[in-house]
Amino acid sequence: MPIQQTASISSTSSTSSAKRPADSEPSSHGPRAPKKAKTKRDGRSGQQEGRSRFEDVTSGGMPLAPPFWLLSLQDVGKQHQLTGRERPTYLGGKVKYAHTWFVMPEAAMIASVTSDSTRSLMLRNYIRLRPWFQYRAENFVNYENTPATLHPQELRSLLCLKTSPDAGKTHTRAGKRRANILEEFTKSIEDAGIQIDLHKIADIPCVWDGVDYSAVDILPADVCRDLLWEMNEAQSRIDLLSLDFWIYDWPSTSPYAWISNREGGNIPVVNTVDGLGGQYSKEGQEDITPEERRNEVINDMGYWHGSVFPEEMEDGGFVSRDPLARRRAVGALLNVMNFWGAEGYKISEAFTRLLIKIDKDNLYDTPIAQWPAPDVDELTRYIIPHYIDLFTRVFKRAPVIPRMLRDQF
């Protein structure tokens, strides 16, 4: 099993911004009146503004994170110390800020909203706009082209709409934002062939699981959890596909070969890892399109059932109640990673030694259900942090991790 090893992706450490100095002298005109706290223009509380995506969110009906995924996420966050203001630098700037935007609504952001009524409004609008979000998830193929999408704040504003985006003043910042939302949304639904009229968003039926919640101010907790789980699960799949696009070792003849590690056209190099295990060779790959590679990943991740948008509300794959299903998900992720190797891709020495051991024990030709439990456990301990760290290095943000509908760990 060839493991490409090159120089690691550079990671720029960030420093926290310095505090503003206090006034050195008191005013001679008596004590100053306390300044009013500034209100964020977007209406978010200071706590939400400073929320780190590497920390867990447990409020607002947010589904639980599997413990090891959460621990790995937090550990990677401590290593990178991102402030949230960093921008991607991978491949000399080919990966842009817009590539980090969410295709689905950010479940953790919605769950963090302190107002129950505002959170319920956002979730009701998600139900109304769900066909559009499903179309986005299933039809976003070429990740080099930023999606016909909205800035994160515009996406949030879309979910907070109570009336037509034409309502209100048009010359203000909020008015201009609403106008852009309407323009981008209209353009994308025309491409999708979906009939949704934002001018009458409040009149769109809000039906979930056969129940109309249009007149319900505060949604039931179980409905909130199901909706948050669905958008979180879809985005976690999109994040894996997006990373795969940028880190996949495209054949050198492909227009997407950023700086390929391959030599001799489409034939991968014959690789010897640390001089152990002999020489490895993979069958050369023919040119492949982003759509074909995307379909390969979707098929490899068997518990997706061939779809980026979850077709069923169930805990599968990494969060399944079935240990064998969790094993298969780990094996599927390894199969996806086997074709990674773009500029800067590297795995740790310890992970490399494990992969050599797996190969020497002929486990690659053995169904993962028959692997010794210690080998599966060790693979899990390495592969999940590796994925989270690599995503963070490429996009300068935390990936969305799988979550559970039901508490089971």
- Count of positions (residues) in the chain: 409
Phi-psi region of 80 (alpha: psi -120 to 50; beta: other; left: phi over 0): alpha
Q: What are residue 215's phi and psi, to 5 degrees?
A: -100, 10
Q: What is the pLDDT along the chain (409 residues), one digit of tens a residue?
A: 443 333 334 333 333 333 333 333 333 344 444 444 444 444 343 334 568 999 999 999 999 999 999 999 999 999 999 998 999 999 888 899 999 999 999 999 999 999 999 999 999 999 999 999 999 899 887 778 765 567 888 889 899 988 766 655 566 777 777 777 888 788 878 877 888 888 889 999 999 999 999 999 999 999 999 999 999 999 999 999 999 999 998 887 788 877 655 543 332 322 223 322 333 334 445 678 899 999 999 999 999 999 999 999 999 999 999 999 999 999 999 999 988 987 777 888 999 899 899 889 888 888 888 899 999 999 999 999 999 999 999 999 999 999 999 875 5
Give pLDDT, residue 321: 93
How many CA atoms lie within 13 Å of 131's alpha carbon, on the beta-carbon side? 15
Q: How many CA atoms lie within 13 A of 244 on its CB side?
A: 27
For 117, counting Cβ atoms within 10 Å of its Cβ (0-12 exposed, 13-18 middle, 19+ buried), the class is: exposed
Q: How far apart are CA 190 and CA 168, in angstroms?
A: 25
308 φ/ψ angles, rounded to the nearest 5 degrees: -75, -40
Q: How many CA atoms lie within 13 A of 91 on its CB side?
A: 21
Helix (H, G, I), strand (E, B) or coil at 340: strand
Burial environment of residue 28 by CB neighbours within 10 A (0 to 12, 13 to 18, 19 or more): exposed
Are the CB atoms for 128 and 204 separated by under 8 Å?
A: yes
**In this structure, which amino acid lies at residue 393?**
R
Cβ-in-10-Å burial (0-12, 13-18, 19+) of 30 comes to exposed
Instruction: With CA atoms as reference, report the closest residue to 227 among 119, 100, 132.
Output: 119
For position 91, what pLDDT does the model report? 87
Q: How far apart are CA 356 and CA 382, in angstroms?
A: 14
Cα–Cα distance between 271 and 278 in angstroms, integer? 9
Record the tokens describing residue 368, joined without a space: 């993962």
The neighbouring-strand residues paired with 206 are none
Strand, helix or coil for residue 167: coil
How many CA atoms, within 13 angstroms, populate the side-chain half-sphere of residue 130?
19
Cβ(251)–Cβ(260) below 8 Å: yes
Q: Note the Cα 256 to chain centre separation in Å.
A: 22
Contact 239, 104 (CB under 8 A): no
Q: Is 272 helix (H, G, I), strand (E, B) or coil?
A: strand
Q: How far apart are CA 99 and CA 75, in angstroms?
A: 24
Q: Which long-range contacts (CB under 8 A, 24 or more apart) does 184-190 make?
A: 184/148, 184/149, 184/150, 184/154, 185/132, 185/150, 185/158, 187/148, 188/132, 188/135, 188/136, 188/148, 188/149, 189/132
